[in-house]
Amino acid sequence: MNLTKVLATSLLGLCLVSAHEVNAFTKYDDPFQISSYVTEPAAPIKEGMKRYHWVVAEEEPGRILAVYAHKNHEIKLNIYYNQEKIWFEQVSARNLGCTNCEVKDRHLTNWRVGLRRGIAFALTHLALVDARKQAKTE
């Protein structure tokens, strides 16, 4: 079994074992724990945002204000990061076509889960690159 399969199987097992410990968060607020191979956490965040059409509205060290606009809707999130984790905080969600209307939860869930998928994909890519480097040095 090659190293990539072992790594993928291990990660899947870890996720299944630790699933009961994340009940305090929602499916789109769970923080991402990152490893030492992620040297610049902002890069996979921006890559994941781009994949799902989010844009950077503001940026400072340790925080990115992400904005997603779709039809008459706009959602803003603060994405915080350091060398150990990436976590999210919703700033606002607005229906721009109606002053008294709320954004439906299913839309928020879909957009935020999409953002998480994009970031997770970028982090997984970095993990695979690191695994390949480690396999070559052994």
Domain ranges in the chain? 32-135
Q: Which range is most confident: 6-15, 21-30, 32-41?
A: 32-41
Residue 79 · residue 88 · CB < 8 Å: yes
pLDDT at residue number 1: 54
SS3 126: helix
Decide which of 63 and 25 is more confident: 63
For tokens 């996720």, the residue is 15
Structure tokens given for 70:
């779709």
* Cross-strand pairs, 2: none
Q: Can you give the pLDDT at residue 100?
A: 80
Q: Residue 82, SS3?
A: coil
pTM, 2 dp: 0.76
Q: Kindly report the CATH class assigned to 32-135.
A: alpha beta
The whole-number pLDDT of residue 24 equals 42
**What pLDDT, in 10s, does the model give residues 32-46?**
899 999 999 999 999
